[in-house]
Amino acid sequence: MHLHLRRKEAIEQLTKIRPPVKSPAAERIIRRASQALVREHIRHTRQTLDEVAGKLLQLHLRLAMILSPREWDHIDISTIAQAELMSNQVTTRQVKKFKRLCGKRPEVPQLNSDRTVINLTNEDLDEATKSILAKGLNFTATPKRIPYSDFIGDSYLRALQRRSDKKLLGRWRGQTPQNITY
């Protein structure tokens, strides 16, 4: 529940405060007030849950003194069965939601590359080239493995280049390299 309440939609639903003035300062005040109300709601809910847990513990201890072990086992078995039933219902509902969300992906129709790609050159294009051209101008090939060492090496070389440029600049101005910040 706590994570759900952090979402922007939940904050807006719990606190429907309309500012009389439209300005960044008014929006900031409303946002802070809304967040404070949500925090108070969470605190109140936690306090209520703590009170209920205390009452349940008292009831549990009272029942443990009154009930025989056989009756206690019967209640324990029925409680576990009810918890499993509720867990299965929640799991079933979540699986249905997941399947519904996964099933909503629209199918992209395969376009005929002979009709979408117009060859303005005199060269023959193979199917792979036509396929890539059919994807459009925003298509870019991505590597299977990102070459992190190349990025690190390039940035290290640039840093060395900047450092050596500053040293040369300092010598040119007659300063020592220790006076230059890197």
Q: Dump pLDDT digits (tens) for 161-179.
A: 666 666 655 554 554 445 5
> pLDDT band at residue 30, thresholds of 50, 70 and 90?
confident
Q: What's the chain's average pLDDT?
A: 76
pLDDT of residue 86: 92
81 occurs within a structural domain: no
Q: What's the residue count for the chain?
A: 182
Question: Sign of the CA dihedral 25, 27, 29, 32?
Answer: negative
Q: Which of the listed residues 16, 39, 66 is the one where a domain comes to its end?
A: 66
Say if 136 falls within a structural domain.
no
pLDDT given for residue 127 in this prediction: 84
Radius of gyration of the chain (CA): 33
Three-class secondary structure of residue 93 per DSSP: helix
Q: And the tokens for 62?
A: 């009272």
Residues above pLDDT 90, as percent of the chain: 17
Q: Is residue 125 in some structural domain?
A: no
The structure's pTM equals: 0.35
- Select from 31, 66, 101 the last residue of a domain: 66
Give the range among 45-59, 140-154, 162-176 with minimum mean pLDDT.
Answer: 162-176
Would the CA dihedral through 56, 59, 64, 67 be positive or negative?
A: negative
**Domain around 1:** 1-66
Last residue of a domain, one of 33, 66, 99: 66
pLDDT at 1: 44
Instruction: Check residue 107 and report its DSSP letter.
Output: P
Which tokens belong to 94? 């979540």
Amino acid at 65: M
For the record, the structure tokens of 153 come out as 């090496």
Under a CB-based contact definition with an 8 Å cutoff, are residues 135 and 117 in contact? no
Mean pLDDT of 49-77: 88
Task: Tell whether 170 is covered by a domain.
Answer: yes
Q: Is residue 29, in this structure, part of any structural domain at all? A: yes
3-state SS class at 160: helix
Is 140 within the bounds of a domain?
no
Query: How many separate domains does the chain show?
Result: 2
- Under DSSP, the state recorded for 123 is S
